[in-house]
Structure 1
Amino acid sequence: MTVSVVKAALALAGCAALVPTAAAAQAYQCALPARIEVPPIRMDGPARPLPVTGYTLALSWSPEFCRTREDDRRSARQCSGRAGRFGFVLHGLWPDSGRGWPQWCAPSTPPAASLRANLCISPSPTLLARQWAKHGSCMTRRPRTYFRVSRILYAGLRWPDFTRLSREPGLTAGTIRTRFADANPGWFEEAIGVHLNERGWLEELRLCYDRRFMPRPCDRSRRGASDRTGVRIWRGL
């Protein structure tokens, strides 16, 4: 399973590489620490080793997350500005199942080097370690494979200009889906989840994949806001 997972992710990333560079990734900087400590992770629920039928790539809009956390020590790397500024960051890569979310299949401590390699897309060692233990262990036996596939999928994405998009009058979730699909050939609106907080601000995108890491329609829980729902995007200013 490990080899096929990596090959499928590489194939999808190869298709994304054909996209013109004008739609390339966001211009945010990131500085890696010389070393990190691997935090301990506690299970918050039962083990569910269910068969994997697809995946979700959850991408959090960092300016909204950091809106009230600039002075929070636990979020300092992501929100203080000292390690760089972030746009969309990887919340997690989650295996799906038709019978619920697989979780805590074989949790273990990931190597520090694997966490450090992903800190520019997921700026929290605690988040990374937890995502591996809770979700990644249901996808592969090797944490390095999980983090490598996460990087491949993230690096293969192309981003519309969300700062410009935030200024559009009458912005809706459907507009966000259309712009993202236009920037990423092979993607379509039904495979893009748009999640808002209770005040209507953009909080997260959830991209839905099948077992071969090809886009597939999201179910209701992952799709989030309807196309006609109005959206506001916090720019972090």
Structure 2
Amino acid sequence: MLRPFSALIALAALAVPALAQAQAYQCRAPQVSSVPQVSPNSRPRQMPVTGYTMALSWSPEFCKPRQDSRSHKVQCSGDNGRFGFVVHGLWPQGANGRWPQWCQARQVLTPREVRRNMCMMPSASLIARQWAKHGGCMTRRPETYFKVTRILWDSLRIPDYDRISREDDLTAGRIRKAFADANPGWSAAQVGVKLNERGWLQEIRLCYGARFRPTRCDDRRYGARDGVRAKIWRGL
């Protein structure tokens, strides 16, 4: 389990530096004095990890009904910066469309580690939940889980989805192809697009193999078919 993580960390110096972080416009990480408590909402499931999914949430759409929410103040109020894509989570995948979850974590997440990741995942509750539900099934230390997540995040180029949102006849296929075209080594088949029930972009889901190489998404992660009409909320 730890070997792919170690290899990725060793190669981090070769990654394209801090490209995706430009999506967190002038982010200011808040002080964090405690770690939110997280209670499992389903049963633990331990199984071999066969790959990973990185879910990127489109913040303008998420924040549209939450601008005045106290629980989402960091991400949605504008006081800590404006966000485009943010990391929802890095999730382990298993065989037959299943995934490990809620494995017993051996080390405790600290407020310092929460704050370190707030410009990538601008919610202390989200950070705590991702470690509790997913990270503990992948590695022993929360620092390792979030370091690997940051390495993957920093290696990405985010297309100008503000401009793309203004195109006529926008489709899910155009959204995924734009991402693949901006990131050498990726193909459209390796990029999932999740639209909400009204057709607005909600998430992009990037599919990785067991050694963190892009791999073809299965149907569940691929999401909306290429020809499905799509919209992107710009938050303005």
After superposing the two structures, state which structure 1 stretch, 32-41 or 211-220, moved more.
32-41
Q: Which residue of 2 aligns with 1:103?
A: 101
- After TM superposition, where is structure 1 displaced by more than 6 Å over at least 4 residues in a row? 21-24
SS of 2:68's partner is coil
Gapped regions of structure 2 (runs ≥ 5): none
Deviation of 1:25 (Å)? 3.9
How far apart are the structure 1 equivalents of 2:10 and 2:87?
18
Aligned residues: 234
Q: Which residue of 2 aligns with 1:203?
A: 202
Q: Which residue of 2 aligns with 1:2?
A: 2
How far apart are the structure 1 equivalents of 2:91 and 2:111?
21
Question: Does residue 141 of the first structure (1) align with residue 140 of the second (2)?
Answer: yes
CA deviations on 1:146-168 (whole Å, 9 max, x unpaired) are 01111111111001101001001
Aligned residues of 1:171 and 1:231 also touching (Cα < 8 A): yes
Deviation of 1:22 (Å)? 9.6
Q: Which residue of 2 aligns with 1:94?
A: 91
Q: Which residue of 1 aligns with 2:58?
A: 61
Gapped regions of structure 1 (runs ≥ 5): none
SS of 1:57's partner is strand
Amino acid at match of 1:103: Q
How far apart are the structure 1 equivalents of 2:13 and 2:219?
26
After superposing the two structures, state which structure 1 stretch, 140-149 or 26-35, moved more.
26-35
Amino acid at match of 1:210: G
Alignment RMSD (CA, Å): 2.0
Deviation of 1:27 (Å)? 6.2
After superposing the two structures, state which structure 1 stretch, 113-122 or 55-64, moved more.
113-122
Choose the corresponding residue for 1:71, options 68, 91, 97: 68
Aligned residues of 1:195 and 1:202 also touching (Cα < 8 A): yes
Q: Which residue of 2 aligns with 1:180?
A: 179
Deviation of 1:16 (Å)? 4.2
How far apart are the structure 2 equivalents of 1:39 and 1:23?
26
TM-score, length-normalised on structure 1?
0.93
Q: Which residue of 1 aligns with 2:14?
A: 14
Q: Which residue of 2 aligns with 1:35?
A: 32
How far apart are the structure 2 equivalents of 1:77 and 1:105?
28
Kindly tell me: are residues 13 and 214 of structure 1, through their superposed partners in 2, closer, same or farther at Cα, counting changes over 3 Å?
A: farther
SS of 1:70's partner is coil
